[in-house]
Amino acid sequence: MDIKIIIVFACFIAAAVYAAVDSRRKYEAKIEKRLRDSWGKPSRRKYNEDSYENIAHYFEDCSEKGGFVIDDITWNDLGMDALYKRMNTANSSIGQEYLYKMLRMPCNDINQLKELDRLAEYFDGHEKERMKIQRTYVDMGFTRHLAASDYIGLLVDLEAGSNLLHYFAIACLIASFIVCFAIDALVGIGLVILAVTFTIITYYRYKAKVEPYFICVTQLVKMVSAAQKLEQFGYKELESYNSYFRESAAAFSDIARNSGLLASGNVDGSLWEMLLDYVRMLTHVDLIKFNQMIRKLGKCEAQVYGLMERLGRLEAAICVASFRRQLDYWSRPDLKTGGSAAIQVSDVFHPLVEKPVANSLNAAKHILLTGSNASGKSTFLKTIAINAILSQAIYTSVSKSYTAPFFRIYSSMSLRDDLDKQNSYYIVEIKSIKRILDAVAAKDAMPVLCFVDEVLRGTNTVERIAASSEILKSLRYRNVLCFAATHDIELTAILDKFYDNYHFQEEVTKDDVTFNYRLLKGPATTRNAIKLLKLIGYDEEVVEAAQRQAMYFMDKGIWLMD
């Protein structure tokens, strides 16, 4: 061969290798930059309706096994979707699903919370190790169409089929070739044609049933591969996890090794895959191996879920560490088992409010909040509730200090008419409050922490005050701490023996209204709703008439009828 041709060919190969290496280097650099730049910052991930719904499936599966959960009403009341999305900096489906489950199922095991804290602190202080671990989760990636837990669930719940038909097809094929070469070529060719036809038909008929599950095996293989990489890093701080990863990798090594035989068609058009397709059709080797995998997984279900849980917990801990970095300050809560239903918190703030105002509170008694609209009542209720959830879910209090027992947490705040079930706002409201009363009445060692905003706002004034006062009063001497907000000043007097009164207030000047969002002791003493009408630009006559009506009712107890 001409030396010039050899040189050109060598240069071409060298250029191709360099291009591939350089492309890989740039790809790795891009991922490294993304991981570094996203650390300690709110996630900007986009969600569609299906992907976000899938994230919740792992939590839903776990909740069926029992334990306290943040129910849908409370989750939606508090806007926890927005908080979760801000926290979710995970790089895999398993990590983001586990993080969601943690927030929906706050823990009552202090040792488990301290372990999560240990992991988060380690990841925060060891950037190099954290980046390598995050890179591993990038490789595991996100699933499509279904949640990662769904794929695993489908796999472990699947019953293994029999391989007798596949072995019979192979035996027929072998026998036909023996006849063809050793007995009668003409008869043998006919038998070969029949055997090949039978083998191919049975192959595709059976494969059509199990092929959708091949992607489930791929998800498991990704988990095993990630476990192997994490174990090989050998970080001593993760030794308890590494030992489990080592055992799991060994247990599922044959599944990982044979997973390459499973395929859903020759998608890249390669000659090797084309040949392998023919081998699969004639030997059913992929279907045989698949049945063997399913049979093995049926015996190792607990280990599969254990692997998924540990992988999820590690990445969720990374998300927690990153979230803590986003906060101006935070503290580790002082959580107690048993004891009275009380909260002591200093400089607590809402993690989603820009430039939040911090407040402190020592609540050994129920709390009744009053104040005008937009003064801060609802935000304060959400602040305390969210802080309680974060304290029990990720051992992170958005305050300078937080002391409380483990709570079961409920709210009844941002309710709406249920048009699908033809329920009015009032029906929705009383059902929502009733579920809290049922939780309080349930025999459970953990006290209830509940939040009710504008009690029974869906009905008339007289019945609202009568009913809401008795409902709130019924919580006295129970294993519960209630935070309630109301516009009904009358409740501050009716409930004075059982509730500590606090309020928020605003300052209305000639041209403006300002709020300082500071929690103040005692009931609200100002009424500024009518003044606000004037400030917004309502007709002077309307404002003055409204003022006269209010003054007359306060003086006489009846309304003007003119």
Rounded Cα–Cα distance for residues 148 and 223 (Å): 10
Q: Residue 119 class from Cβ within 10 Å (0-12 exposed, 13-18 middle, 19+ buried)?
A: buried
Same domain, 511 and 540: no
Same domain, 365 and 305: no
> Other C-beta atoms within 10 Å of 559: how many?
9
- DSSP summary character for residue 145: S
Range of the domain at 531: 527-562
In the listed set 278, 312, 346, which residue is the last one of a domain according to the structure?
A: 312
Q: Give the closest residue to 473 by CA, choosing from 457, 456, 497.
A: 497
Same domain, 376 and 467: yes
Number of domains in the chain: 3
Could you tell me if 219 and 152 are in contact, meaning their C-beta atoms sit under 8 angstroms apart? yes
Residue 351 lies in a domain: yes
Rounded Cα–Cα distance for residues 42 and 496 (Å): 42
Per-residue pLDDT of the chain (562 residues; tens, 9 = 90+): 578 777 777 787 877 777 777 777 888 888 888 999 999 999 988 888 778 889 999 999 999 888 899 999 999 999 999 999 999 999 999 999 999 999 999 988 999 999 999 999 999 999 999 999 999 999 999 988 889 898 888 888 888 888 898 999 889 888 888 888 888 788 778 888 898 899 989 989 988 888 888 888 888 889 999 999 999 999 999 999 999 999 988 888 888 877 777 765 544 556 777 788 888 888 888 888 888 888 888 788 889 899 999 999 999 999 999 999 999 999 999 998 877 889 999 999 999 999 999 999 999 999 999 988 778 899 999 999 999 999 999 999 999 999 999 999 999 987 665 545 555 777 888 888 899 999 999 877 789 999 998 887 767 778 888 888 898 998 887 889 999 998 888 888 899 999 999 999 877 666 677 788 999 999 887 667 777 777 777 878 777 777 778 776 666 666 666 6
Same domain, 348 and 296: no
Same domain, 358 and 230: no
Same domain, 518 and 534: no
Same domain, 270 and 200: yes
The one-letter amino acid at 97:
E
Residue 268 lies in a domain: yes
Same domain, 249 and 182: yes
